[in-house]
Structure 1
């Protein structure tokens, strides 16, 4: 066994632009609205066409999703935190660690961001804060993620954070009747430490 992690601890992580914190009951309706955004539904692979992206979720789906967010803080095998923009106090997305493997110390990472949080460095800081927590507090061995090839903006954020492209699952997804690749990224403890050294060195030379 690598390292047993108790994900029942739900931290509050604060940066200059964002706060990552546990979900509250008041966040549920906000997240439901975010998850109806067509672009977000496309980028997360929740739908398979622009037409589906524009269709509202059924009441059954809404009820199921609401219950999902109401129970995030009780989970002991995963960590779900809301992304809050500090300036406005608005919830603009979420970050998640799930599928932790105690044999390898590897964990899966995902992030979703509504349009209100895009193009202002909020996502980059949220990723950085969450990764720092995973590597320095949880002490995972590796953080992995997958991103569709039609989302280069997200790829740039991951690369900036030190993630390394490990492979491509060719034509793994189909959207608007076109095949899309899934790109697989990983960040090892060694990668993270080296990336931090490079950032520190870069800052010292400026």
Structure 2
């Protein structure tokens, strides 16, 4: 069963090298800088140009959203910004939600993504009570797909030509992880 209070709690989730903390206004500058990076925008399919004031407002309001969880990935030792992730679009009747993650450029290739994903999935399944967590990934992002697969996500389908980027159509892969399946993968 879904615990309706679990998304309102805004937990701090601590891993071996990282900590997931509530997104706040103090993260807006780093969040904005990440989304100014053209490669990050391509890998996430982000067309919208967020201004810094818009992101400051979005980040400041994140703690008050009872229907989603927006967390920042911080380095446990330095507190430095490594990226952000979200659990949203919660379907209480069917116990599933949607997940996304974006890493800062200097956080990639170090196993930060899988560590953050595992922490969030554990919370989503064990505390929120979800049965299924879904995400979208582009075929031109094989590194992300491998990270998701390490954390128990499996490809369930393909949305043909659902992303228009740089004058070309790209497919979108739908992946999902189920409660109790594959979270122990290395």
TM-score range, shorter chain: over 0.9
Deviation at 1:135, TM superposition (A): 0.9
TM-score scaled by structure 1? Answer: 0.84
Greater share of helix: 1
Q: How many residues are matched? A: 185
- Per the alignment, residue 123 of structure 2 pairs with 133
Name the CA distance, whole Å, in 2 between partners of 1:131 and 1:168. Answer: 22
Match of 1:54?
none
* Corresponding residue of 1:154: 144
Q: Is the 8 A contact 2:114 2:147 kept in 1?
A: yes
Deviations 1:27-81 (A, max 9, x none): 1211111111111111111139xxxxxxxx57xx322121001110111010001
SS in 2 for 1:76: coil
CA contact (8 A) 2:99 2:133 kept: yes
Match for residue 38 of structure 2? 38
Aligned 8 A contact 1:85 1:117 in 2: no
Structure 1 unaligned residues grouped into runs of 5+: 49-56
Q: 2 CA distance for matches of 1:41 and 1:87?
A: 28
Q: Any stretches of 5+ residues in structure 2 without a counterpart?
A: none
Aligned twin of 1:165: 155
More displaced 10-residue stretch of structure 1: 114-123 or 22-31: 22-31
Superposition pairs for residues 55-74 of structure 1, below 5 Å? 57=49, 61-74=51-64
For 1:51, the equivalent position in structure 2 comes to none
* Cα distance in 2 for residues equivalent to 1:47 and 1:74: 26
Within the alignment, does 1:195 sit opposite 2:182 as a pair? yes
Residues 98 and 134 in structure 2, CA contact (< 8 A), matched pair in contact too: yes
Task: State how far apart, in whole Å, the 2-side matches of 1:105 and 1:79 are.
Answer: 15
Please name the residue that 1:5 is paired with: 4
Q: What is residue 89 of structure 1 aligned with on the other side?
A: 79
- The structure 1 residue matched to 2:176, chosen from 174, 177, 186, is 186
Q: Distance in 1 between matches of 2:181 and 2:149?
A: 13
- The answer to whether the 8 Å contact 1:85/1:122 transfers is no
Deviation at residue 147 of structure 1 after TM alignment: 0.7
C-alpha RMSD of the superposition: 1.8
**Matches of 1:167 and 1:25 in 2, distance apart?**
36
Following TM superposition, by how much is the alpha carbon of 1:167 offset from its aligned partner in structure 2, in angstroms?
0.4
